[in-house]
Each structure stands twice: as C-alpha cells, then as structure tokens.
Structure 1
C-alpha cells in the first residue's frame, strides 16, 4: 500500500522539487516564452492592422476605380452626343446645300427656257413678218395692176380690221 498512499516526507520532497523547477523555469524559461508570446501577439496585431489598411486601401482603390469608370462613361456619352450632333448638323447642311443647289438649277433652267422661248417667239415673229412682207409684196404687185382690185383689197382689209 505504500505505493498508493505516499508518505509525508515524499510529498515534501516532491513539493520542494516542484518549487525548484518552478523557480528555474520562472528565471530562465518564462521570460523568453512570454517575450515570444508578446512578440507573436504584436506581429499578429501588426498583420491585422496591415490587413485593415490593405482593406481600406482596396476600398479606396475600388471607389477611385468606380469614379474613374463613371467619368469615362460620362466622357464617352459626351463624345457620342457631340459626334451625333455633328453628324446631324453635317447631314442638315448637306440637305440644305442640295436643296439650294437644286433650287438654283431649277431657276437657271427656267431662265434658259424663258430665254429660249423669247428667242423662239422672236424668230417666229421675224418669220411671220417676213412672210407677211412677202405676201404683201406679191399682193401689191398683183393688186396695183388694176383699180378695181385695189378697191376690193382695201375693202377686205377694212373688214378684217373690224373683225379683229
């Protein structure tokens, strides 16, 4: 039974050995262990603060990227709008120029037609006058030969004048 119940001397020696071991460990082992734990704790805190800083920087970068993206979209929209406006303006100018040119061409064609019409009428009048003179000359040569024919011709002219 000695093994199951220790004697009081054994307990004292074990207690003294434990206290000696505790003092040796406290003097030589606890300080380095605590220093290593504190160092590890500070390293973990630094890593956590660096992670927080990186997280904040990432959020900053993300918001900056979003802002740049919004600016790029706004600039793209402005460029597209100005390009559409310029295209519309160019199309409108081309239509106006084409309309003005068509109007000028029509006016020129009308002027040419009017000039040719006047020239043709003048030519017809000249030909009619020439024919009238030729006919008159032939009639006068024939009519002047005798008095009765002259009177008949004058009467015919008078009748024609009253009718017209």
Structure 2
C-alpha cells in the first residue's frame, strides 16, 4: 500500500477518473439502457402474459359455466321432449284403443241389426208358410166337410148359432 501512495500520480489519477466516467457514460448509454429497457420490456411482457393468463382463466371459467348451463338446458329440453313423446305415445295408444272399441261396437251393432233383420225375415217367412199351410189344411178340411150336403148344412147351422151367441 505504501508503494501505491508513493507512486501516486495526480495526472494518471485524473485520466483514470475521466476514462472511468466516460466508460460509465458509454455503458449507461449503450449497455445499461438497452439492458434495462429489455428487462423492463420483459417484465411488462411477463405482466401482460400473467394478466392474459388470468383473463383467459376467467374466460375459461365463464365458458365452463356457460357450457354447464347449456348442458343442463339440453338435458331439461331432452327430458321435456321425452315426456312429450311419452304423452303422445300414450295418447296415440288411447286413441287407437278408442277407435278399435268404436269399430268393434259398430261391428257388433251392425251384426245385431243384421241378426234382427234376419230374425224378422225368418219369422215373416215362417208366418207365411204357416198361413199357407193353414189355408191348405183349411181348404182340404172345408172340401172334405163341404163335399157332403148334410155336412154343409150342419156347418152353416153351427156358424149361425155361434154368431148369435157372441
């Protein structure tokens, strides 16, 4: 250390200080400013990226909430459509049963009407046959009874007696 103090020169010291100050000014202008600017820009970029990430996270949460709402809405709509489909199915089955019952009742009614008309026709035909047979029998009996004069007179007398009694 003594050697430094003994060999100390103010001129050299002065020039070293000037060079040091110039070096500091040059470094400040050409190195520190760009480095500090790059560091500041990088810091701003990181802050912006963090803010964007937070914003994206919020948007993602909103999208998930929207998706969940849409999913619940779709489920509710699906349930509503299924319920409507079941109701339509039940109504169609009930309508088909009603139509089938009406058709069966109509067929039964038509069959009963046909049976009744056939019954009436059969009774009418039977009456005609009975009447025809009765007339034939009466004709044969009358012919047999009226073939003899004595029997004719007796028949007329019986009829007259019956007519006065009534």
Q: Please list, as runs of the form range in 1=range in 2, the aligned pairs for 1:1-164 lying within 5 A after superposition.
A: 9=4, 20=20, 23-24=24-25, 27-28=28-29, 29-144=31-146, 145=148, 146-147=150-151
Question: Which runs of 5 or more residues in structure 2 are unaligned?
Answer: 159-166
Q: What TM-score do the two structures reach when normalised by structure 2?
A: 0.72
Kindly report structure 1 stretches of 4+ aligned residues shifted beyond 4 Å: 16-19
Deviation at residue 141 of structure 1 after TM alignment: 1.3
Residues 21-56 of structure 1: CA deviation (Å, up to 9, x unaligned): 783476333333222211111110001101111111
Query: In structure 2, what is the Cα distance between the partners aligned to 1:123 and 1:8?
Result: 166
Larger relative contact order (CA 8 Å, sep ≥ 6): 1
Q: TM-score of the superposition, structure 1-length normalised?
A: 0.73
CA RMSD of aligned residues (A): 3.0
When the two structures are aligned, how many residues end up with a matched partner? 143
Deviation larger for 32-41 or 130-139: 32-41
Moved more, 17-26 or 120-129: 17-26
